[in-house]
Amino acid sequence: MNLFRTSWLLALVALMVILSACGDSGQDALDWEVQPFDAVNQEGESVSLDDLKGDVWLTSFIFTNCVTVCPPMTANMAQLQQQLEDEGLTVPIVSFSVDPERDDPQALKAYGEEFNADFSSWQFLTGYSFEDIQHFSSESFKSLVQFEEDSDQVMHTTSFFLVNDSGVVVQKYNGIAPPYEEILNDIKSLR
């Protein structure tokens, strides 16, 4: 009886391992297609999804008037940008403003400069309507963008997203406490 029970238990464990491996699709776990967008960056230059096709890239949502999560998220992204450069990896970073009415290119450039952003690989985007960024965030990143009631602050995701070279979101990470090593390894695995 004990041999039968042990064999049954080992078979069950093996089946669970096999099923969990089949269910783990690795980098393609999210599989969210980024929708087309048209924007301008901190230099006033046009940027669209087509400009990023063929590149693995990171993205976040921020706004310059943010008094809570955006400064630490942007500082963390700046640290991640430095780590990427230290590894010899050139990876585009895109930060979408969720307050495009106030965040013109000049405001975004000043904001990026506060965090020593390297604009050669990090673009801060605006030039669309608030409704457009709400829809884009929801459709492409499954994330809410909404003004807080009786406030000039905007609620938005605090995640960083990794997008593959086909324009598909494959991973998201905590932008407040990023797992830097995991992000670097995930980027390397997609290149």
The pLDDT tens digits of the residues spanning 119-166 come to: 999 999 999 999 999 999 999 999 999 999 999 999 999 999 999 999
What pLDDT is stored for residue 29 in this prediction?
Answer: 67
Query: 19: exposed, middle or buried (C-beta count within 10 Å: 0-12, 13-18, 19+)?
Result: exposed
Kind of pairing between the strands at 57-62 and 46-48: unpaired
The pLDDT tens digits of the residues spanning 66-88 come to: 999 999 999 999 999 999 999 99
DSSP assigned state of 103: -
The pLDDT tens digits of the residues spanning 25-79 come to: 344 468 999 999 999 999 999 999 999 999 999 999 999 999 999 999 999 999 9
Kind of pairing between the strands at 93-97 and 154-155: unpaired
What is the sign of the dihedral through the CA atoms of 178, 182, 180 and 33?
negative
Q: Which of 63, 66, 125 is nearest to 92 (CA)?
A: 125
What pLDDT is stored for residue 79 in this prediction?
Answer: 98
